[in-house]
Amino acid sequence: MSERVRIAVVGAAGAFGMKHLDGLANIPDAEVTVVSGTRLEPTQAVAEKYGVPTAVVGYDAVLERDDVDAVILATPTGLHAAQTRAALAAGKHVQVEIPLADSLADAEAALAAAEASDLVSMVGHTRRFNPSHQWLHNKIVTGEFGVQQMDVQTYFFRRTNTNAKGEPRSWTDHLLWHHAAHTVDLFAYQAGRIVQANAIQGPIHPDLGIALDMSIQLKAESGAICTLSLSFNNDGPFGTFFRYIGDTGTYIARYDDLVDGREKPIDVSAVAVSMNGIELQDREFIAAIREGREPNSSLRQVIDCYRVLGALEEQLA
């Protein structure tokens, strides 16, 4: 391997591809050598913006290159599992954006490929890396705080296929397999293995073919419970908001920021070297490659999340 880990960002012109490029620009051990997309012109524009020497069209054009040690996949959900397996087969370390897959069978197949490889493979479960949730996780590990209940709201306004930039999207996002995955994994990470899960959903949208409203209940082996409300119908502030109700306090996490139950800000700037959760997950990816170790949010660590999602999908069916 070269002095720095050589990265290809796939899906670079999308909203999250550029978030990764922003984060990677702050990591001295990372060098973005290639960006890839489905159309050359916007991909070249991203390469020029971020000073990346090579822009290519298509995934095969990335995997065949010898100046790529690792790939970051910021591609449509339905491609994630197959592209993860392809990266490993090509001898590339891989970080795939959440979710790993949109079916349990595909998630298990990706895990099998990862376990058969000695390469680093991780999923972008960003909530594990947000300083707000890290601050709470540290208190949980030391016994200073125990989760009794989490109340989570995940709200967007997406009655059409649009992405995080408000642009048309060729594929359909999903409340269960994408947005619920954040909370299901985080709840288990903070409160322990999930032993009970229930879900109900609203009407199926006639054009998108998915439910735009969903409610999920979870229980951890610790006894802690979680209530998750999800909507693509919410015409108001969007995002995901986590209320932690614990034995020694109440906290509200809004992405990288944290307040207590009375909205008093909590300084989490000393938790990590950055206040950007995506940059921190990219730092973990690069560090795991250089140190030859399993990363936080490896496929092995997050597979239980997808097993819970698979069980919930069966309930909803």
**pLDDT band of 81, cuts 50, 70, 90:** very high
Give the three-class secondary structure for 9. Answer: strand
- For residue 48, pLDDT over 70 is answered with yes
pLDDT value of position 180:
97
Residue 255 · residue 130 · CB < 8 Å:
yes
First to last CA, the chain: 47
pLDDT value of position 238:
83
Mean pLDDT of 278-298: 98
Helices and strands in the chain: count of H runs, count of E runs: 9, 13
Q: For residue 53, give the DSSP letter.
A: S
- For residue 163, pLDDT over 70 is answered with no
DSSP sequence for 164-211: TTS-B-SS---IIIIIHHHHHHHHHHHH--EEEEEEEE-PBPTTT-SB
CATH architecture type of domain 130-271: 2-Layer Sandwich (3.30)
CATH architecture type of domain 5-124+277-297: 3-Layer(aba) Sandwich (3.40)
Task: Please count the other Cβ atoms lying within 10 Å of the Cβ belonging to residue 292.
Answer: 8
Domain extents in the chain: 5-124+277-297, 130-271
E-assigned strand segments in 60-193: 70-73, 93-97, 121-124, 147-155
Question: pLDDT of 107-120, one tens digit each?
Answer: 999 999 999 999 99
**pLDDT band of 233, cuts 50, 70, 90:** very high
pLDDT value of position 33:
98
Q: For Cα atoms 170, 172, 177, give the angle at the middle one, nearest 5 degrees.
A: 140
Alpha carbons 100 and 110: distance in angstroms, whole number: 8
Mean pLDDT of 26-39: 97
